[in-house]
Structure 1
Amino acid sequence: MSSIINIKYLLGTIIFLLIGCQEDDVSVGAIIAPTNIQVTADIVGSDESNPNGDGSGTVIFKANAENAIAYQFVYNGNVQSSPSGIQEYTFGNTGLSTYQVTVIAVGAGGVSSSTTVEVDVLVLYEPPIELITMLTTGSWRIKSEVQGHFGLGPVEGEEPGQFFSAPPNSKENVGMYDDRYIFGEDATFTHITNNENDDPTLNPEGTVFGRIDLIDELAGPGTGTVDGADVLNYPYSDYTGSWAISAPGGVETISLTGTSFIGYYTGGNHKYELYKYAEQPANELILRTTDGNNEFDWWFIITNKEESFQTTFNSLLWSDEFDVEGAPNSANWSYDLGTGTNGWGNGEAQTYTNDPGNVSVQGGLLRITAKAENGGYTSARIKTENLFSFTYGRVEIRARLPVGGGTWPALWMLGANFETIGWPACGEMDIMEHVGNNQNNISSALHFPENNGGNAIVKEITVPGVSTDFHAYSVDWTPEEIVFLVDNQVYHRFQNTTATPFYEKDFFLILNLAMGGNLGGAIDPAFVSSSLEVDYVRVYQ
């Protein structure tokens, strides 16, 4: 869409020689407020016959001022920084409308001057109401669970991902899957860079994913991790810009302002074509954008529906419902006994026993109880080693967790060849870990050679009420993928390969409650006792 200043236009380029809302030209040493702000507005497609543009709604603003070192553009309440003084907007109201854009010229020491200009823009395209309704409903995400959710191909290529098409969930932990995109009805575009750290309070900090060098345009507080031509987990906080829909050449296109982006930062013009929009399923869009190097077209599949996980494992293979009072069923469980010097280490403070006061089945629940006694701590650790192990399946454990600083319950699995090849070569899958010093923060982890201990593959999620309510902690384990869930909500995915110890190997189950140690941390001096309660353990194949 194009607009034209109400003062004059000349072949689509309007020059503003305005000094509006300008501060006094006061010099204090080397600090001088910018003066003589000049703004030009190039209305795309404007000529003598069409002074308000070709109907695309696009206007390119260029600002210049004496003593200015940077510029900011303000439209619709959103501020866009532009060191170069160039900013492009695509306006979205169908018909001829007047828009106000404020240009702020920033000088040394942060002193500034500003002017507000009006442009009259003609927009001929009217987006389908169903498209606007869909875009402004809920929050959008990369549809990570499908093939081709992220890809690249030649510029102006006809098919998505001709050069590369990402397998499902193959870009876990790079700073993309936890992003959310909100298209506001007021034309605001909000990018949440980590939706997983906003509960119970909002946290704007996050990371994003992008192209090497191009991502430097974001000017974030860190550098991220370089992986070939990609930059992983580039530190970047939530932000707000603007969005509009146009249809250049008849192709519906989302235009974002400033450095706003979706999925993977590629620079360029920040326009995302909706590929075959009318042919896509409901609540799903395929986007294409050309990067700032004019090297590739980048493709994304986005959806405004959160993932609903469907397991392929539905036949019960093994379970313990803990419905027989007394000691745990000896056909299912054995014990690890003694202190950490016996092999589990981690600086833990407890001694493991098989005493009924530390481990028993009561009222349909398994209770593993940690106690402060005899100047130390006792607890229990039970396992299915040499009694039950399996390869691939779904494990679901319904449990209520202990409370207290220093408590460290874990529901996990260890490779059945542990005694032969040792740890971490055998592999370890932590279905659920919790520490009382970080109440309601649940984590899952994978330990294997080169990724173990403090370098394990870890993911966290906040789950309110873990010590007051029962929750289902699960892992879905296939040759292709390991998925961790709480109450059937996916929060951690790992792409399994033949190079990991999780491929075609048996694992057995372990349930324990540790005290203190490397993860459990400081033990509350007032701690007396607390229990890990397990309703059931079920394994499906």
Structure 2
Amino acid sequence: MKMIKKIGILVLLFGLFSCQEDDLTLDTIMVPADLSISSEISDDGSGLVEFNASATNALTYKFNFSDGSSAVAPNGNYTKRFTRTGLNTYLVTVVAYGQGGVSSSKSVEVEVRSDFSDPDTKEFLTGGNSKTWYVASAQAGHLGVGPSEAGAPDFYTPTYYTAAPFEKAGDELSSCFYTDEITFSESGENITYELNNNGFTFFNVDYAGEFGGSAGQDECLALDTSGEKSVTLAPASSGIPADASTQTEIQIGGGGFMSYYIGASNYEVLSITENTLYVRAVMGNNPALAWYVKFTTTPYAQQSAGGGAEEPEPEPFQTQFEDLAWSDEFDGDALDTSVWNYEIGNGTDGWGNNEVQYYKEENVTVQDGSLFITAKRESESGFDFTSGRITTQDNYEFTYGRIEARAKMPEGGGTWPAIWMLGANFDEVGWPETGEIDIMEWVGNNPGETSSALHYPGNSGGNAVVGRTEIANASTEFHTYTVEWTSENIILLLDGEEFFTFTNEASLPFNKDFFLIMNVAMGGGLGGEIADDFQESSMEVDYIRIYQ
């Protein structure tokens, strides 16, 4: 990034005050002197400015900006992103604090250009005037945590933990978390935030001790959050793909936060609609963790009573394919090997995903009208787990159609079942050139969510195009997983409701024959850590059908 030195620093004032204890002597009152401020301003429209303040006898520095935000920087270095669209002049006042509480200050003006604008997020957030948000306590995953590093698999999903609906209800938690009211208001170009926490805030265990708690568990503690704080909408820099984020970050000034205290004030907006808001923030004292919170415009009392504003029923999905072309209802007592192939072993590097299971024919069974693919903790050929994987390669391959599978997921952390497809020319061109359509992927470590993905050159592995949606009771109830595949679109549905649409193009590898695959992996890049108590569990498939 090219940086331009800001010239014409305007020195406005130099102040001195002291608030001393009686026993302080003159040699302990060291007035910060020779305060200087330099700035480097980006010229790429990002609005970024790097500030450096220095003074003799200074212990720390505070930056106050004319847009209403402020920041403390002990070493005097601070990078600020200004987001008011266009070329604007801002007043920046730096206060240098010395021993004994004395201070000196200096102000400069900076002229900054910002091209960033997200009117849609601004409109949804404030309603064009003022809007109040509440924790979406009735939704699965309203609170969650996962890895934050961009190099980690699925680093932008709460793979470590997701809260069940109303999990934090009871005791005092529902009153200090679920009843929070966060109001975003719009006034011209500016946005403000105010948190009404009813006097108490829900603190993460790592911060509870700092605010008078017992330090050892999440706690509700008294905290004054009154007063408006400035809000800036800025481009997000986490590296989350565009299909999983709005690419916009909410930056709350003055140490503001969104209901669950994790020492963070910047929240990336993963998704936002008229009535739903899903955000992600990196934990302040543990940057390896990212926390997730879902919000709604329905107050807690109405959520817990099952009431609230009713959302319109979605229009039924209109399929283009009505004629059943092929199906397997699994009505016999053995797998139909004229259609299905068994894949045996662990592939190369755990099938390319560092999976830890060894696939065996014996782990695939058909009984009572269902197919069972069973993962087990057992030793086989140097591996500690076994499972099953079957394909229709060379036996049944097709182009376009509606593919439906009705299935129950296995149970247990580390399980990773999938129903998916690969291009029929896989053996000739390899992966990802052949193309991959993941109809369903689910992981036992994140049971409240299911996902679908498309892999192709330029977008494969950790850079695949992914769609996600919430799911309840995936292991105890059958759900229908569907893909509608045409030359124009690839649409993914859960239980008949569309949650992800991908635009197909002639240049992509999704316009030729594909074959089916079903398997249950263990561990690996997406499956994650395997639960210590895992012994055995199955994916049960009632049927798989193809309409054309």
TM-score normalised per structure 1 = 0.49
Higher-Rg structure is: 1
